[in-house]
A and B are shown apart, each in its own frame.
Chain A
Amino acid sequence: MEIPVQTAVPMKTPRSQTSQSYIRWRKSTLMGVIVLASVVEARSNPLPTFRQYCFQCHGNTAPMAGVNLEQMTSQRSVSDSFKQWRNVVEALEQKKMPPEMMPQPNEEDRRLAISWVRAELDGFAKKHAGDPGRVTVRRLTSGEYGYSIQDLTGLDLKVDRDLVSDEVGGEGFSNFGDVQFIQDAGMERYLEAAKRVADHAVIGSGPIQFFADPGKTGFELSAIARIRAIYDKYGFRTVSGEGGRPYGLDFYGKALYVAWRYQHRAALGEGNVALKDLAAREGVTARFAQHIWTVLNQPSLSYPSSEVVARWRKLPAPGMDSKASATTVRAACEEIQKFLVTWPSWLFARGDLAAGGAGDERPLEFSDASLKVETKHRFVFYRGGRGGPRGAALPTGGTARVYVHAALVNPNPKFKPVILWRDPTIQFRKSFGRPGQATPTLAATGQAADTPQLEGRPSGGGENQPRLPLRAVVTEESAKKLAFGKSPDGSVMGPEDFASEGSTSFEVKLPDGVSLFELQLDTEVGRDRDQVFRITISDREDGGTRRVPVWGLAGDPQSTGYKTWKAAVLEFARILPPNSHGEPTPADKDPIPEPFDNTYNVPEHDDFVVKVKYIRDDRFVVEHILDDATRAKLDRAWNDLYASFEYHDAYLRLLANKFKLDLKGKGIAHFDDARIEALPGAMRKYVMPLRSEYERVTAVQAAARGHHVEDCVRFASQAWRRPLTEREKLSLRSFYTSTVSSELDHRKAIRALLARILVAPAFLYRVEPAQLSAIRPLSGWELAGRLSYFLWSSIPDEELRRAAGAGELSSPRQLQRQVKRMLADPKARRLSTEFFGQWLGFYRFDQYRGVDTGRYPEFTDEVKAAMYDEAVSFFEHVIRKDRPIREMLDADYIFLNQALAKHYGVQKEIASKDQVELVDGANAFHRGGLLRLGAVLTATSAPLRTSPVKRGDWVLRRVLGTAIPPPPADAGSIPADEKLFGGLTLREKLAAHQRNATCAGCHSRIDPLGFPLEKYDAIGRSRDQYPDGKPIDDSGVLANQKRLSGVEGLLDYLKGEEKQVVRTLAQKLLGYALGRTILLSDQPLIDRLADAGGDASVSKLAAEIAASAQFRNRRGLEDSPPVETRKSTTSLVARKFNTAGGE
């Protein structure tokens, strides 16, 4: 190895140097250069001055405060230690150095040294301004990884937390490539996370998407979610089983209104308008509007459909004031809609009629079973309701009125309906016990009380009470009204029977102390049996109940009247149904399809609900509402649902059970045409469609496979933030092919492919390939990546990708436009979280553990979370609303939720319980701005007390960007707990700093900036005194004797230093944007940014940075700055002053 020529300033051993400087050092020594200074005599050479006055403390042996001037003067350029050089020159200028008690250089030497350093610094900065510097390839930080996954999948899968450990470096940010390490254990976590993400992929009949639940379950649930989403958006339901709420019914009103506008389009002044345009205007689908239009123009419809048409036809034609007509007609259409959707509920006496039947658990269906009529019925009515009265007890004694309703289902004014009520009896009860097991049957059949099968009579007090004829217990008046034993149509009557034309009512006399009774009676249709009655028994005049009604349809099933009526109802259900579809996952009381037993709670029904689970019953929504594209989506979702488990096999097994066939373990796949042909006829009928549906599902799933691989390729391009090369595409495709051939499972192979994309270096690392030449401009895609990770900590979005692809980003104006757009986006909150959080030290404050919660139980997790939200939301506001930077210091607003307002003692009405909201006028209650953020005040305290030193250090370092040397190793300390100060205040304890010269140098700068915040305690609350009652002196005295009094004083001071604050922000923002340490060559840019002053906004700084040369370029294969051509090999000082003899 070559021996370097001995230098006047001895080098440190190369091994202890960084590899960078080691390389440089080798270069210089290889060239046999003399690094020198000993022979320099020139008067302008500052080296003797440094050597004479500085090296004693700042030389190679134990340099104080880490400043080694001996080493610095031997470096090749001031840029290597430029931050220290700046401190040096400032110390010289302000005569802080050499210290008072040490020998001082004369003024001329001092001046020369100063001007030399200044000239070197400025000269270098100007010459290399905009140098991209060395930016080591960056691995995504945990935060960036999480956000990228979130933007790629649309899901917050929380894969980022503790994924790989981050480290900070450079300007204090975790996105600094040099400190991002990876090892096998970290790689395992990436692999694990990638597989977890891939597990959320939905791989079915459509394009790959991601769903909140993973795996097989996620596949099934995502299908249901997609089906539901379509139904919810386009469909409607009057009721939807248990707990169901009506929705979407206003589509009817809107469609009726659309039809009216269309009908009168000429009169309304838009003769050429198309029905579909009117529909779009009202927010109904064209198909639905068309359907309603067709129905309304159908000539022969029966009741109740005819009633709808008739009412619509009666709508007034548009008048002079078309706006007024529109309003009137709209209201009228809503009335028609009300009739339309409540009529079915009325017919079946369902739940709360006014609420569209809500609260009724019975399925609303029109079928042979639900429309069945009987000439004779038995009804049982319990006063107060089956199972006993709810709510307030009913009054005892007196009388109780019962309404027996018999309404014609077809209004027919000419007809007098006669109903015979036979053998009515009453049994009084003290109470009704809980109904027996069989009770639910009543609810399940819907048909009330054909009682022979009803065994579970309410039991409880007084079962053995005598059953009395109704006649014996009604009031005299009622007895007279009911006219027992006679019928207006001359039917034969028993002495206890009565008849009514339509509805009637009567009053029962209650014995003392009794409020309840059971009424039992049989009904029979009167002589004219060509009509259908809806019978209900109730204690409400309107016949309604909020419970299971006592209800029945009475009529002659053989009569023409009944048959005609039934056809009309089925027609209504077909063309104007109350429900556009059934739920994909029916409630347990919903009907199941043929041939299965529809009875609630029987094994077959349960089996179907549990094993087959899903019923597709959405004919109406598909045929009359959805457009073709949505239909296709719905079909795919159903296809996925069927494919998500062995749906068809489960169905087949149930059929086999029903028809007592032994499948011998075979599934639907086994049943080809011949085997289906061999099945018993009754069963074949059901297996045939099942098999063809199975085939369709299988075929559609298979057909989608090819597309999935291409989906992955697109996904990769998004994740990798650039178009893929042909070779990469090929590699991804062949990875799939080889995986699928070894694993024999398409989904597994696709998931592996996705995982492979997410552990690829192109995703995990922000690779910017280099070329041989030194500096090159970044491509549009690389710029897009830099921009989106700078502002969003994540991948570029569609718009940015478009701009990158179109080559727009090379234009500074377009770049600026993008910055503005991106910083207004909600994703800009991440800049607050990641950048401001790390800069100002509230990063991940939600996990902060530095508070002794034993001492401060008020510091709950809720308060902690709110403080974090406060800080993040504050900077988010400043960023996204484009506020001036100045406002970060002096904002008169704050972000609070109720818990935080309470914690701070803010007497103000706060609406929000969880997310913080903007509250104005914060200064009035001593808050606002970054100094008074709870998270900052807390994080700069000790667990048990405040720390003016930490706070002052925070202001000085983070806000003012002033470097402070670390305390010497033997620095003293003060107790952890202010209770241990032995009667002294914190200030008195810290006063020692001022007396000790070693401490005073720094603490006279630190402490005065911390004390003004003393009126905020260790968990961020404002306070007036110390816990022991001692008053708080919150003033600080600066070195120049200027007094800062309280937080206002500190704020004033910082406003005076505004340029320095902006400079600090600019420098940190630049370091964060570039992912590297600031270089001397960045100075001109930082100066420019700082010149913008406090009026500038974050977006202005960000835009300037984005447009800067260092942001838009990168170095080539060699990372180090270009070797100086001019006397490149001499040391810094030597080069300058030894031009004669050095080389």
Chain B
Amino acid sequence: MKRIDRSLTDRQKSRRHFLRGAGVALALPWMESLPLLGAQTAKAPAASKPPLRFACIYFSNGVEPIHWWAKGSGASMEIGPGLLPMAPFREDIVFLRGLYNQQAVASTSPHLGRMPNMLSGATVSLDPSVIRVGTTMDQVLSQQIGNQTAVPSMVLGIEPNELRLEDGLSMIYGSSLSWAAPGKPATKEIYPARAFDRLVGDGTGRRLDRSILDAVRKETSDLQPRISRGDRRKLDEYLESIRDIEKRIDHAAREERLEGWRPSLKEPNMPRPADGPPQDVPEHMKLMLDLIVLAFQMDKSRIVTLMLNNDLSQMNFKFIKGVQGALHLDLTHNGKAPAAEAMYLRTNQYHVEQFAYLLKRFKEIDDGGPSLFDSSILLFGSNLFDGDAHGAGQMPLLLAGRANGALKTGRVLDYLDKGDDNRRACSLYLSLMDRMGVRLDRFGDTDKRLEHLWSATV
């Protein structure tokens, strides 16, 4: 690896720092051009078509393998029972078969070693005193192009972080799909009201906040030389988070689109959700999905992840008729009892229904000509395939959205027998990031793009 140029700015250093952490190898000239990237996009006169958005909807504990399959293409595509709610959307999805993460398979920890690395392909540290995975692809996007919108990225969830150790490992692993840095999970928002405020509160009128943050930032910098190396790293996180807010305040204060494409929605078209967590899981999930739509439609953010449940989820599915018990302990590990298996299938379908709802809404929304669906890439899936057996040999994944014409939907892409090197999930992420405008040479366990993904014409 090349030496770091001492003259680099803080900003560049931290970018370098994060890229290194993400296991990314890149050439310096590209990196130096990074600071310009955001500015160029903002000024580009060609920005007359809608920007591309990315969302990943995650559900935990995998699926029942025999129910998760798809064959054929277009309207004649056949799908397994687990995918039943996708029936009306067969022409809108790409069924991905056989993608996997090398490091997940290799981990000795059946759950926590295979989940927080879903979007990074990194190794999960099993040392109880070191929390470390890898920067996830959504956060790479957030850090690279997130400055184009008021909220760089949204990290949403339904279940709170669990405060316990699971086999000696912190449950922060099981609660975090998105990682802002290898050692730092992105803050997950589970309260719809706060997510709403983050989107709608426009950052103006925050002069006083700005001066408060300014003052404590200076104070922290003064402190830095007098504390230990490890402490400094922790306070760096604090400093970084202050800088991020300050940047956002400044950004919001001058946000004004002069020309080209404009979001089709200026004011939120949904009421502010009530404070606190909704009591009811279905309502909670729906609100979060609606907030994704709102974020994209108002163009407040273009990158979102949503965890429908945590790994090792305690979520009780009794809200589905005929289903009883907790997702992980009772339903996933169902002892192959037929009644319990049937309930597990219902939970799989329930998760798919959430995705179906999102597709329906995306297709309905006019995004200034095309629909929101046309200008989005939506990824849906889980880190395990066979949930009961903790099978990480492949992941159940669906893609949807037309990626501004780049993605031809209504297809089944089967990579399972194409060789391990050609079926890496990180290849998919590299391809997705390319399309979003962030080109990395390498990510996670690969430097290869996923084959056959994009339409040749684009």
Contact = CB atoms under 8 A, between A and B. Distances in A.
Contacts of B160: 162, 165
Contacts of A170: 128-129
A855 interface: yes
Contacts of B186: 183
Given A184-B241, A769-B227, A854-B318, A761 B220 contact: yes
Contacts of B170: 167-169, 179
Interface in A36-74: 62-63, 66
Contacts, number: 251
Contacts of B303: none
Contacts of B189: 185
B258 interface: no
Contacts of A765: 234-235, 238
B187 A165 contact: yes
Interface string B195-219: 0001000000001110111011011
A596 interface: no
A980 interface: yes
A850 B237 CA distance: 34
A755 B211 CA distance: 11
Interface stretch (B263-271, B282-290, B324-332, B423-431): B324-332
B208 A731 contact: no
Interface in A973-989: 973-977, 980
Interface stretch (A230-238, A363-371, A963-971): A963-971
Contact of B164 (A180, A187, A748, A841): A841
A274 interface: no
B230 A136 contact: yes
B242 A134 contact: no
Nearest to B195: A185
B418 interface: no
B36 interface: no
Contacts of B185: 167, 181
A78 to B, nearest CB: 16
Contact of B208 (A136, A176, A743, A1117): A743
Interface string B233-265: 011011011101100100000000000000000
A188 B245 contact: yes
B4 to A, nearest CB: 14
B401 to A, nearest CB: 26
Nearest to B112: A966
A649 interface: no
A338 to B, nearest CB: 54
Interface stretch (A14-22, A457-465, A504-512, A1029-1037): A14-22
Given A183-B186, A850-B314, A1115 B241 contact: no
B108 interface: yes
B128 A167 contact: no
B231 interface: yes
Given A15-B23, A166-B163, A968-B110, A975 B187 contact: no
B270 to A, nearest CB: 21
A973 B388 contact: yes
A66 B226 CA distance: 38
A373 B162 CA distance: 77
Nearest to B185: A181
B82 to A, nearest CB: 19
A767 B333 contact: no
A1008 interface: no
Contacts of B389: 969-970
A139 B208 contact: no
B137 interface: no
Contact of B163 (A174, A191, A735, A855): A174
A202 B126 CA distance: 50
Contacts of B194: 189
B219 A167 contact: no
Contacts of B128: 169-170, 1077
Most chain A CB inside 10 Å of its own CB: which residue of B108, B175, B390 = B108
A183 B180 CA distance: 9
Nearest to B331: A976
Given A973-B388, A980-B339, A761 B318 contact: no
Nearest to A172: B165
A1000 interface: no
Contacts of A748: 208
A132 B17 CA distance: 30
Contact of B241 (A63, A183, A762, A843): A183
A764 interface: yes
B335 A974 contact: yes
A1119 B228 contact: yes
B371 interface: no
Most chain B CB inside 10 Å of its own CB: which residue of A66, A761, A768, A944 = A761
Contacts of B23: 15
Interface string A843-860: 110000110101100000
Given A15-B23, A767-B227, A1117-B228, A973 B335 contact: yes
A780 interface: no
Contacts of A162: 160, 191, 277
B229 interface: yes
B340 interface: yes
A57 to B, nearest CB: 12
Nearest to A198: B212
Given A178-B131, A191-B209, A761 B228 contact: no
Contacts of B207: 742
Contacts of A731: 215, 218-219
Interface in A940-996: 942-944, 963, 965-970, 972-977, 980
B129 A942 contact: no
B188 to A, nearest CB: 7
B212 A976 contact: no
A760 interface: yes
Contacts of B331: 976
B125 interface: yes
A943 B326 contact: yes
A137 interface: yes
A765 B390 CA distance: 39
A883 B339 CA distance: 50
A20 B130 contact: yes
Contacts of B419: none
A735 B208 CA distance: 11
A849 B314 contact: yes
B167 interface: yes
A444 interface: no
A793 to B, nearest CB: 14
Given A15-B23, A770-B228, A1076-B129, A976 B161 contact: no
A66 B212 CA distance: 47
A854 B324 contact: yes
Given A178-B131, A1077-B129, A137 B108 contact: no
Contacts of A1049: none
Contact of B234 (A180, A191, A755, A759): A180
B123 interface: yes
A838 interface: yes
Nearest to B245: A184
A1076 B170 CA distance: 13
15 contacts: A178-B129, A183-B180, A183-B241, A735-B211, A765-B234, A770-B231, A852-B325, A967-B110, A969-B110, A973-B329, A973-B335, A975-B335, A977-B330, A980-B335, A1077-B129
Q: Which 4 A-B pairs have the closest CB atoms?
A: A976-B330, A973-B333, A969-B110, A184-B244
Given A16-B123, A852-B318, 15 more contacts: A19-B130, A167-B163, A168-B164, A182-B187, A182-B238, A182-B241, A731-B219, A739-B208, A850-B326, A966-B109, A975-B334, A976-B324, A980-B337, A980-B340, A1119-B230
Interface of A: 15-16, 18-20, 62-63, 66, 134, 136-137, 139, 162, 164-170, 172, 174, 176-189, 191, 728, 731, 735, 738-739, 742-743, 748, 752, 755-756, 759-762, 764-765, 767-770, 838, 841, 843-844, 849-850, 852, 854-855, 942-944, 963, 965-970, 972-977, 980, 1076-1077, 1115-1119
